[in-house]
């Protein structure tokens, strides 16, 4: 979609094609699209050009500008559309929210990624995504190799599988303990950080069939499962219509 064909302040969200079990199989795309819905910002999806100016997905076009990175997009959108859902938090609460978000996006994400691509060899992909990007569909070993080198550079790929899965377990347990009986991470109302936490948890709850974490969502982490359903019901009343189950793999 040409940026010029889009009106003033209309956001185009560029992301991978819809998934079978969640609308977005990228935690960062699910975060950003959930945020757009939370903020009531009009947007259009573009599924044809998922990789943005920084070589990652998602990204947005806003008023002719291309912006990469879900958090930078979110912060620009908040400024442009004068949205601030975290304003009621104390500075300490804001610090806690930020720490949880960074843990989810910069630590737990890597656990999810290496499970999806390395330990599980990308074999869950056909179960969760219908119309895979060419590179993912036909060049799975190449993608697996790329994830291996990224994970090694990041550091997580240098640990044993047992160590990594234990790290993820501790992250998820920390989120579950902090959420406790609350409706949303920081209280009764959903705010920006919930988009990020939901984006990540949804990948583990719905998009990681066979993951050792999955059974815990029906036991110790039942509050995380209820939280994901609450976010889904609040911001995605059209969730099922957004799924893309019909196409053959």
How far, CA to CA in Å, does 175 sit from each of 28, 108, 197, 219, 232? 18, 11, 9, 15, 18
Q: Toward ligand GSH, which CB reaches closer, 28 or 221? A: 28
Count the residues of the shown chain that bind ligand GSH, applying the rule CB under 6 A.
Answer: 8
What is the DSSP track for 162-177? HHHHHHHHHHHHHHHH
Q: Toward ligand GSH, which CB reaches closer, 45 or 57? A: 57
Site for ligand GSH in 172-191 (CB under 6 A): none
* 192 belongs to the binding site for ligand GSH (CB under 6 A): no
Q: Can you tell me the distance from the alpha carbon of 220 to that of 2, in angstroms, rounded to the nearest whole number?
A: 47
* 171 belongs to the binding site for ligand GSH (CB under 6 A): no
N residues, the chain: 249
Q: Min. distance of Cβ 218 from ligand GSH in angstroms? A: 26
* 70 belongs to the binding site for ligand GSH (CB under 6 A): yes
Q: Which segment (52-60, 151-159, 176-184, 187-195) binds ligand GSH by CB under 6 A? A: 52-60
* 203 belongs to the binding site for ligand GSH (CB under 6 A): no
* 28 belongs to the binding site for ligand GSH (CB under 6 A): yes
* 235 belongs to the binding site for ligand GSH (CB under 6 A): no
Q: Toward ligand GSH, which CB reaches closer, 70 or 129? A: 70
- Residue 137's CB: how many other CB atoms inside 10 A? 14
Which of 37, 49, 56, 137: binder of ligand GSH (CB under 6 A)? 56
* 26 belongs to the binding site for ligand GSH (CB under 6 A): yes
How far, CA to CA in Å, does 12 sit from each of 4, 15, 186? 11, 10, 29
C-alpha torsion angle, residues 191, 197, 200, 206 (rounded to 10): -90
Q: Which of 75, 49, 21 is nearest to 193 (CA)?
A: 75
Q: Which residues pair with 129 in a beta bridge?
A: 19
Q: Min. distance of Cβ 37 from ligand GSH in angstroms? A: 17
Q: Toward ligand GSH, which CB reaches closer, 196 or 231? A: 196
Residues contacting residue 42 through CB under 8 Å, at least 6 positions apart: 9, 10, 11
Q: Min. distance of Cβ 106 from ligand GSH in angstroms? A: 8
Which of 33, 46, 69, 192: binder of ligand GSH (CB under 6 A)? 69
Mask of contacts with ligand GSH, 85-124, x by CB under 6 A? ----------------------------------------
Q: Which of 15, 24, 76 is nearest to 232 (CA)?
A: 24
Residues contacting residue 214 through CB under 8 Å, at least 6 positions apart: 204, 205, 208
Which residues would be at the binding site for ligand GSH (CB under 6 A)? Answer: 26, 28, 55-57, 69-71
């Amino acid at each position: 979609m040409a940026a010029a064909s889009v009106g003033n302040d209309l956001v185009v969200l560029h992301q991978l094609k819809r998934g079978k079990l969640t609308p977005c199989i990228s935690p960062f795309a699910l975060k950003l699209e959930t945020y757009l819905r939370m903020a009531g910002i009009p947007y259009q999806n573009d599924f044809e050009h998922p990789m943005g100016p920084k070589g990652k997905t998602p990204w947005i076009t806003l008023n002719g500008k291309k912006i990469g990175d879900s958090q930078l997009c979110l912060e620009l959108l908040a400024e442009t559309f004068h949205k601030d859902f975290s304003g009621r938090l104390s500075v300490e609460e804001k610090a806690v929210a930020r720490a949880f978000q960074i843990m989810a996006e910069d630590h737990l994400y890597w656990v999810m990624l290496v499970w999806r691509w390395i330990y599980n060899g990308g074999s869950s992909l056909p179960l969760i995504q219908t119309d895979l990007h060419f590179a993912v569909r036909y060049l799975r070993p190449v993608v697996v190799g790329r994830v291996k080198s990224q994970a090694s550079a990041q550091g997580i790929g240098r640990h044993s599988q047992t160590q990594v899965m234990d790290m993820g377990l501790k992250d998820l347990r920390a989120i579950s303990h902090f959420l406790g009986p609350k409706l949303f991470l920081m209280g009764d109302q959903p705010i920006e950080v919930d988009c990020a936490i939901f984006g990540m948890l949804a990948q583990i709850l719905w998009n990681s069939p066979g993951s050792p974490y999955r059974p815990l969502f029906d036991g110790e982490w039942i509050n995380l499962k209820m939280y994901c359903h609450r976010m889904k019901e609040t911001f995605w009343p059209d969730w099922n219509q957004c799924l893309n189950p019909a196409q053959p793999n």
